Chains A and B, each alone.
Chain A
Amino acid sequence: MRKVPDNRAWWLVLPVLLLVALSALVPLMTVVNYSVQDIFGPGNAYFVGTEWFRDVLRDERLQESLLRQFGFSAAVLAIEIPLGIGVALMMPRSGVKASLCLILLAIPLLIPWNVVGTIWQIFARGDIGLFGWGLNELGLDYNYTGNPMDAWLTVLLMDVWHWTPLVALLCYSGLRAIPDAFYQAAEIDRASRWAVFRYIQLPRLRNVLVIAVLLRFMDSFMIYTEPFVLTGGGPGSSTTFLSQTLTTLAVGQFDLGRAAAFSLVYFLIVLLVSWLFFTAITHMDRDR
């Protein structure tokens, strides 16, 4: 027999839907309205149709920052997810040590984003920063304000430092939720450490990993404050990510129509990638 889902539970979502309608849908509709107009000021707007969209899609500067953004998000996910799982696996299971680890891990998460940028800006300086000075003393030619590669590495390192703890904490909670019986069965079967990870821990971590991947993708795709404070998008435009390009358009140049069109394209990309991740991960076990 095929199951017919009962949709009445959706009524319970109604209050949230109303809140979201006010906080997200109305602004979104306004952005759509802006994207088809050239706005000079209040009450002084001209309808331009899809001109902004055509303009934005063919703008090389925006295409470059889009590519840069995808590169950054891919690097963030490729480093933080395995690293977070690794850290969670190495953490003690209980006791004082576990609490201490949890507190230590949570510290980066508590620091405001602009402060993270400032910390790393000073930390990575060649003259007074421990990190930059140390690298230079080791004979490496490191200068994040002049060398694009160094700037990239610093931004990436900063994000890894800031957000790997989130992945680790999520994975840790997932690992703690695995009943001991699973490990006992594995021990009876003389499963290797790798087999325990591959067939017990990783499958049981899937749900928290969905959340971790989605959160880290969306956050890194919207990253603004930290690179803005650390490098200001430079040197040149080598660390200018999408949101910074967008802010320059909207607030710097007050080009509201073009910025609105650009944010809609941005929104569609985030929507598509998030949906793909979500569908891929939630359908993995169903199709098996």
Chain B
Amino acid sequence: MLDWMNWTPPVAIFFASIVAILMAMTVWEIVSPCTERKGFLPIATTRGDRLFIGLLSAAYIHLAFLAVSEVSLWIALAVSVLWLLILLRWG
């Protein structure tokens, strides 16, 4: 059935993790609703805003690693996850 979309395992894992993150965030939001607050980012953000900023910057971090270096992308992933956690906690 998914043949027409030319699925590959890495892409499937990628989208599955995005869905998992969204679901986890939904559950977290239901268990303890968040309020908008101001951290080190120049604007007041909610948890969802910070997740969006984190994911978008993760995409750019990966692209930057690809564009200027030959380093393994696992390092880019580690940097992105770290940055996402910092953003969610103190952003």
Contact = CB atoms under 8 A, between A and B. Distances in A.
Interface of B: 3, 5-8, 10-11, 14-15, 29, 33, 35-36, 43-44, 46, 52, 56, 59-60, 63, 66-67, 73
B67 A58 contact: yes
Interface of A: 2-5, 7, 26, 29-30, 32-34, 36-37, 39, 43, 45, 47, 49-50, 53-54, 57-58, 265, 268, 271-272, 275, 279, 283, 286-287
Contacts of A57: 63, 66-67
Pairs A-B, 9 closest by C-beta atoms: A57-B67, A33-B6, A2-B35, A30-B5, A54-B66, A283-B43, A33-B11, A53-B66, A4-B33
A142 B6 CA distance: 50
Contacts of A58: 67
Contacts of A275: 52, 56
Contacts of B15: 29, 32
B63 A265 contact: yes
7 contacts: A47-B8, A47-B10, A57-B63, A268-B56, A268-B63, A279-B43, A283-B44
Contact of B14 (A26, A32, A43, A49): A32
Contacts of A30: 5-6
Given A7-B29, A268-B56, A32 B63 contact: no
A195 to B, nearest CB: 29
Contact of A3 (B3, B10, B35, B56): B35
